[in-house]
Structures are given as structure tokens and as C-alpha cells.
Amino acid sequence: MKSKRLLGLLLLPAAASLCLAGCGGSSETAAREYSKGIFAMGTYMELTAYGEQAESVLDEAENRIREWEALWSTTDEDSEIYAANHSQGRTVPLSSETEELLQFALKMARQTGGALDPTIYPLVNAWGFISQEYRVPSQREIGELLALTGYEKVKVENHGVTLPEGMQLDLGAVGKGYAGELLADYFKEEGISSALLNIGGNIQMVGSRPDGTKWRIGIRNPFGEGSFGVLESEDTAVVTSGGYERYFTDEDGTVYWHILDPDTGRPAQSGLASATIIADSGRMADALSTSIFVMGLEEGSEYWKNHGEFDMLLVTQDGEIYLTEGIEDSFTLEDAFSDREMHVIRK
């Protein structure tokens, strides 16, 4: 089987503490720019912050990212999630960060009717998305593993988690967004009013650009390289889930991607090529990008009408673009896509 993982971000230079735009500028108020590239949580991250204290804040950000990775990794034998996944029914103590993240994932699982399910790990593993030894499990195997999923069977109490034997957790759909949100809070506490955190394609903004204008975020074209449009925003999170991020192709040319439908145990076939969520909360944006990708256009639009508090930009497998009314005026198509019709979803 041919395997492929598109990590365009890997091509970016891993710059540490670089002083780029604004450095030594003529204006006394020009903020110093610092950037740091980090490989963690299975992805490349690039953190950029402005201001005198930015360098030390970025160093501490890296420390925190490594601590969270050590807590949430499914493969590191010392992680809390690994301990829970090999607990054979025993209760495993959780740090406050892991407890909060797991509680949030379970709440979103309930709220999305199980489109998000943090107990999907046995299936993610069976399809080879952890080892990258990709395979198509038999229907029988999928059925057996589905019996080992179900977020409603997870118990979190007294700062510990109890999983029925054989069940396993995967916080991959929410961890990076949560990390971005925690870092944004920390940056603000430290007095940083301008930063852009690119956590493997999950974008978390802190404030606006140093000159006070909005950030311009390219939204990845799910069918090829580059972006198909630009979103202007400030102090929000912009998170995309798409089939193109991690997938493999079988001998017949069928593509299987890493976002699974918890109802079928198979790659979600909702008709979407990508789902981008724009929200104040990074964890919410990350949870919803995965959930809406599983739900598809109609169910996703219904969810948006009922829950609000976020905007979304959906690209269907047919290349049609849908966006919610809140970002109608802040999203612009790139020239190469300017002939595309954009459908606005209204309440």
C-alpha cells in the first residue's frame, strides 16, 4: 500500500529566536519578533510572539508543550493516557490538565451526539494510523473493535479515570487546540498582546498583529498545495480538519483518511474535504473541526444553528465552499479560486 502524509509545514525552517520584521525598525514602538519551531505531538509547530519578553515566554511555551505531550501521548509508556489505556479496568490518576481535557472531550462527545468520540483509539490503531503501517481491517474486526468504543462508558471522578477493560483513549482530536488555548492564556498573562501560534496547522492567535491590524490566515486547499482563501481575524482560533492531512490509498485507489466515523469505525464519508472552525476557544475549535468533518454539511449546519458561538468554512468533496454568515466579510478567495461560488449559511 502506498502511504503518504502531507506535511507541507515540515518544509518551513525551524527558526529559533529569530529577530525578523520590526527588529531594529525606525519606529520606537516596533515590537521585536521572536519565533520558535518545535516538533512535538507528532507535528511541526511554529510559535511567533512580539515584545521584549517574547523570547522567555516562547522558551516556557516549549517546556509546557513537552510536558503536555508527555501526559497525552498514546505511545509514550510513561504518559497518563498510556497508563489509562493499559489499566485493565483499574482507575488511573490524572493531572489537572489531562482531567480537564478529557472532561471537555467527553462533554463535546455528548454535545455532538458522538461524532467526536475520544474512545475511538482501537479503530485508529487498527487502520494503522498510529504505526503508519496502514491496512483496511475486515468488517468483522471493525465490529469487534466498535464494541470497545463508547464515550459514555468512560468514568472520570476523584481526579482519576476508569475505562472498561480493552477500551482506549485518544485525545488527538482536541489536544493541540487545547494546548494552543492554554498557551494563549499564558502569553496574555505575561503581557504579550501579539502572537501567532501555528500548532501543526491549528492556528491560535493572541490579539492582533503588532501594528494593530488583523492576522491574515491562509486556509489550506484540501485538493492541492497552498491556500484557497484568506481569513482576517484577531484573538481567535482557526482549526482545520481534513482528509488530506493523513491518509493512505489502497491498490484500487480508494483513499482512507484518519478521521473516523464512530458509528461505522471507517473513515468518515460525510461529503466534506475539509472543515475549518473559527472560535474564541482553541479547544472548542479543535473539537468541532473533527466533529463537523464527521457530521458533514447538513448535520454540521444544523449543529451550528443550534449551538452558534463559532463560525465555519466547509469545502465539499465536489469543491463547493460554504461559510457561516459571521465570516462572510472577513474571508476572501485567492485569485486562482475567484470563480468559485461561495454559499453562505445563515441562521
List the binding residues for Mg(2+).
173, 286, 290
Which residues lie closer than 8 Å to 310 by C-beta, 6 or more apart? 277, 278, 279, 284, 285, 288, 304
What gap in Å lies between CA 302 and CA 113, rounded to an integer? 13
**Interface stretch with ligand AMP, choices 16-24, 112-120, 223-231, 306-314 (CB under 6 A):** 112-120
> Least distance in Å: CB of 262 to ligand AMP?
5
What gap in Å lies between CA 121 and CA 151, rounded to an integer? 11
116 interacts with, out of ligand AMP, Mg ion, none, CB within 5 to 8 A per kind: ligand AMP
> Least distance in Å: CB of 7 to ligand AMP?
13
State yes or no: residue 296 binds ligand AMP (CB under 6 A).
Answer: no
What gap in Å lies between CA 245 and CA 265, rounded to an integer? 19
3-state secondary structure of 332: strand
CA 84 centroid distance within chain: 22
What gap in Å lies between CA 298 and CA 133, rounded to an integer? 34
Closest by alpha carbon to 193, among 284, 57, 72?
A: 57
> Least distance in Å: CB of 229 to ligand AMP?
20
Please say which residue, 289 or 301, places its beta carbon nearer to ligand AMP.
289
Among 289, 295, 313, 331, contact with Mg ion (rule: CB under 5 A):
289
3-state secondary structure of 234: coil
The residue to which cell 449559511 is assigned: 345
262 interacts with, out of ligand AMP, Mg ion, none, CB within 5 to 8 A per kind: ligand AMP
Among 124, 231, 272, 321, contact with ligand AMP (rule: CB under 6 A):
124
State yes or no: residue 286 binds ligand AMP (CB under 6 A).
Answer: yes
State yes or no: residue 181 binds Mg ion (CB under 5 A).
Answer: no
Please say which residue, 54 or 217, places its beta carbon nearer to Mg ion.
217
State yes or no: residue 294 binds ligand AMP (CB under 6 A).
Answer: yes
- Numbered residues of the known binding site: 173, 286, 290
Which residues lie closer than 8 Å to 154 by C-beta, 6 or more apart? 102, 106, 118, 119, 161, 162, 163, 167, 169
> Least distance in Å: CB of 239 to Mg ion?
6
State yes or no: residue 33 binds ligand AMP (CB under 6 A).
Answer: no
Residues 127, 136 contacting (CB under 8 angstroms): yes
State yes or no: residue 46 binds ligand AMP (CB under 6 A).
Answer: no
Q: Which residue is nearest to Mg ion (CB)?
A: 290
List residues near ligand AMP by CB under 6 A.
116-118, 120, 124, 129, 170, 172-173, 241, 245, 258-260, 262, 286, 289-290, 294
